[in-house]
Structure 1
Amino acid sequence: MNKSNQFSPEVRERAVRMVQEHRGEYPSLWAAVESIAPKIGCVPQTLLGWVKRDEVDKGQREGMTTSERERLKALERENKELRRANDILRTASAFFAQAELDRKLKS
């Protein structure tokens, strides 16, 4: 199991909600995160990342939303596949062009 999937989405949502609900009881966001993270069983940096990601998704913080990130990854993946296909076609085209030239020279 890799690091990003160690906690279920439900646990993440609950942890973020706990931070949001108890944020006013602490002098800073970091203090709230440090207090709640051990209760969830994660390190404070991980919980802070979840809180920040949630704030970005809700428009409370600048940055790319999760859906925008997924869309960008999909487009980058498609772009990579298209570049690879173009390279294959370019190589094949050069190969067949050379073969055609060789055939004409033999005639």
Structure 2
Amino acid sequence: MIEAGIWLNKAQRRTFHQPRNRREAYGELIQIDGSDHRWFEERGDPCTLLVFVDDATSTLMHLQFVLSESAFSYFSALERYLGKHGRPVAYYSDKHSVLRWPIPRPKAGLA
């Protein structure tokens, strides 16, 4: 079946998403993400660096160290970002973000 092209093994079945084009103008899209790391080596506790990056220019717009990556940490960083840069057209965070509701809620009336 493999030789005939009817069946593909697991490695051959892997599909990759098409890379998207960057936004054209500064401030259109801000990518946000957090990175847990021992940023200060042994001189301090592990913490998270929240990063806001402009998609069109790859400019680091806002960096903020927080105790942990949480929705409240992002809200605090967002408040500072908005105070300095204003509102962008859109934000983008990864699909595993803390900003998502972790458990799909059932629709009303369905059990």
TM-score of the two chains, using structure 2 as the length reference: 0.26
Q: Which of the two has greater strand per residue?
A: 2
TM-score of the aligned structures, taking structure 1 as reference length: 0.27
Rg larger in structure: 1
